[in-house]
Structures are given as C-alpha cells and as structure tokens.
C-alpha cells in the first residue's frame, strides 16, 4: 500500500497553515502532512524523523520549499529548539503511527502478515531490536510489556510460548507462537491475534511511550500566541498520554483541591480545541484501513 496521510484535511483545518509562519512536523514519515502544510501556506517548515530513509525521502520531496529536515527523535527537544532559533511557532504536528513505508518494507519486520527478520526499529542505527526483546528478555519482562503495551489479556501464555520456542528468528514464527498461545475462541475475534503483541514489542523497541506526555508539554510551550499543536495517536495508551498532556497544559495548577485559591502560580497555557478526539470518516477508513484506529487531539496556546 502506498503512503496515505491520516486525517490530512482534519489536521490542515486544525493547524491553519494559510496563516503562514513556521510549522513543525515532528514525525515527517512519508512527508504527506509536511508537504500539505507547505503547499497550503506555511512559510517555513522544520521536519523531524528518526528514520534516515524518511529523512532522505523528505529531502527530495521538499525541494524548492523553505524546509529544514532533522534526523533525530522528536524527544530530542533541545535539538528542535536550536533549529527554531527563537522564531515564533504557529503550528506543530505529531503523528504517532508507523508510516506505511515502514510497514510495507518487509525487511523492517513491522508486519505480522509477512515473513521478515525480527527488527521493528524505526531508527535502524539503534542497537535494540525486536530480536533482542523476543529472545533475551525474561518471561516476566515479556509478560509485562505484552500486557502493558499490548493490553493483551493472554500475555502470560504468549510470553511462556515465546520463551519455550527460542530462538525466534522471524515475524511469521513469532506470529504463529502467539496464535498457538491464544485459545481458539479468542483467535476468532478482533482481527489478527498477533496484532497486540507485535504492537507491544514495537513500542518497547522504540521506547515510544517513554516521556511522551512530558514531551508534548514541552512542545506546547514552544507555540506562539494562537499557535496550535495537533497530535494523532493510534492506541489507547498514546491517546491517554496526549489527553493528559493537554489537560495539564490547560489546568497546570498543583495546589491541593481544598485550597480556596491557587497559590502555586501556574497559569493555563491555553485550551484543548477538541474535547473528544477527531476520528477518520467512514470514507477515509474505506480508502485507508490503517486509519481506523487514528485519533486526533488539538491544543491551542493562549
């Protein structure tokens, strides 16, 4: 499947690039959101991605535009701040999904429906891979990450099955182990039985949830007056972190609830534009099945 930018029109409506100014795409991926920002009026763009393949792709895509591309994790906020160099930021986009390019490149090992080496690294230069997680973590460590990051109730059975089957060398072998560990009635519900475990391993490999809430808060602080941050998440743990970060920015007071007045001095930074997440339309879900779990939340700075 070719790359299709999720919730593209909804993101453009939220970020309003026609106002001009500096915009930041913290997860450039296939470059679709970034290119739309530039084509629709963004004066300047900083695009960020930890995947060197994405960086090279975007360099070609953004030729002729005022765009700077950073090869780093968006959690490296210091590097992004240096690139901003004191300029006012009008909009920030963060798409927390795995890009279609990564899913479709079999050798990356993100897919549970194709045979590939156990990799799942978004940054191919990092050491930790899915092979290391699957073959060297203890049964308890595997159980914990599968249960926590995959919200998989059969995590104990899956972890035991993985340990008993080592070495596990490819994605299809892992998917089969997961399938055998899940009772037959449960396998017939909710899509591919390997989905939740693969998600959990991927999150662990790339440390996707580590410091996410705090990082979103840091980027909200970089917005200028009226600037907006739009975040697309794809599972409940991500969405919870996004919602909590925006709630904290909206009401940062840490005074005890029984205090009659605020004495901590922390002022609201703005407001959540979306009380409930924006979901893809039925038409988008049909055109791009990978968009089905996407949720968009938007925050506007004072």
Same domain, 276 and 290: yes
Same domain, 90 and 119: no
Same domain, 217 and 88: yes
Q: Among 151, 178, 206, identify where a domain stops.
A: 206
Q: Among 206, 240, 271, identify where a domain stops.
A: 206
Same domain, 73 and 113: no
pLDDT in tens, 129-149: 999 999 999 999 999 999 999
- Classify each residue of 113-136 as buried b or exposed e, where b means 16 or more C-beta atoms within 10 Å of its C-beta: ebebebbbbbeeeeeebbbebbbe
Residues 6+ apart with CB under 8 A from 282: none
Q: Among 206, 241, 262, identify where a domain stops.
A: 206
Strand-strand pairing, 270-272 and 295-301: antiparallel
Same domain, 170 and 80: no
3-state secondary structure of 62: coil
**Which helix (H) or strand (E) is 92 found in, with range?**
strand 89-95
Same domain, 128 and 262: no
In-domain check, residue 255:
yes
What pLDDT is attached to residue 188?
82
CATH number of residue 117's parent domain: 1.10.150.170
What pLDDT is attached to residue 1?
41
pLDDT in tens, 196-226: 999 999 999 999 999 999 999 999 999 999 9
Question: What is the number of alpha carbons within 13 Å of residue 47 lying toward its C-beta?
Answer: 29
**What gap in Å lies between CA 197 and CA 235, rounded to an integer?**
13
Task: Provide the number of structural domains found in the chain.
Answer: 2
- Which residue is listed with tokens 């963004």? 42
Same domain, 178 and 263: no
8 Å CB contact between 300 and 273: yes
In-domain check, residue 20:
yes
Query: Is the pTM above the cut of 0.75?
Result: yes
What pLDDT is attached to residue 145?
98
Same domain, 85 and 150: no
For residue 119, give both structure tokens: 């990799």
Residue 197 belongs to what domain range? 107-206
In-domain check, residue 54:
yes
8 Å CB contact between 250 and 238: no
Q: Please list the residues that pair with 47 across neighbouring strands.
A: 25, 69
What pLDDT is attached to residue 268?
95
In-domain check, residue 102:
no
Q: What is the pLDDT along the chain (302 residues), one digit of tens a residue?
A: 446 799 999 999 999 999 999 999 999 999 999 999 999 999 999 999 999 999 999 999 999 999 999 999 999 999 999 999 999 999 999 999 887 667 667 778 888 888 999 999 999 899 999 999 999 999 999 999 999 999 999 999 999 999 999 999 999 999 999 999 999 988 888 788 999 999 999 999 999 999 999 999 999 999 999 999 999 999 999 999 999 999 999 999 999 988 888 899 899 999 999 999 999 999 999 999 889 999 999 999 99
Same domain, 161 and 292: no
In-domain check, residue 2:
no
Residues 6+ apart with CB under 8 A from 226: 90, 300, 301
Neighbour order of strands in the sheet with 270-272: 67-71, 44-49, 22-25, 89-95, 223-233, 295-301, 270-272
CATH number of residue 26's parent domain: 3.40.50.150
3-state helix, strand, coil in the chain (%, to 5): 45, 15, 40
């Amino acid at each position: 499947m070719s790359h299709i930018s999720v919730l593209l029109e909804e993101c453009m409506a939220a970020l309003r690039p026609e106002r001009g100014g500096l915009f930041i795409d913290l997860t450039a991926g296939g470059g679709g959101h970034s290119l739309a920002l530039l084509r629709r009026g963004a004066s300047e763009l900083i695009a960020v991605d930890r995947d060197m393949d994405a960086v090279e792709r975007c360099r070609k895509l953004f030729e002729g535009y005022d765009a700077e591309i950073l090869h780093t994790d968006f959690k490296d906020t210091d590097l992004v701040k240096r690139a901003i160099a004191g300029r006012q930021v009008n909009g920030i986009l963060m798409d927390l999904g795995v890009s279609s390019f990564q899913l479709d490149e079999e050798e990356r090992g993100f897919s549970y429906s194709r045979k590939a080496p156990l990799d799942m690294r978004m940054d191919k230069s990092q050491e930790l891979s899915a092979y290391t997680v699957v073959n060297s973590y203890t049964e308890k460590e595997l159980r914990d990450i599968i249960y926590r990051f995959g919200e998989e109730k059969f995590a104990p059975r899956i972890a035991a099955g993985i340990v008993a089957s080592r070495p596990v060398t490819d994605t299809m072998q892992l998917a089969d182990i997961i399938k055998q560990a899940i009772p037959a009635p449960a396998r017939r519900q909710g899509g591919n039985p390997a989905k939740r475990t693969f998600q959990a391993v991927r999150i662990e490999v790339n440390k996707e949830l580590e410091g996410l809430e705090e990082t979103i808060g840091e980027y909200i602080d970089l917005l200028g007056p009226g600037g907006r941050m739009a975040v697309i998440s794809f599972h409940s743990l991500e969405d919870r972190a996004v919602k909590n970060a925006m709630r904290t920015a909206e009401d940062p007071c840490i005074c005890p609830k029984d205090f009659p007045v605020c004495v901590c001095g922390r002022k609201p930074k703005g407001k959540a534009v979306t009380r409930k997440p924006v979901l893809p339309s039925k038409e988008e879900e049909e055109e791009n099945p990978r968009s089905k779990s996407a949720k968009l939340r938007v925050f506007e700075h004072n």
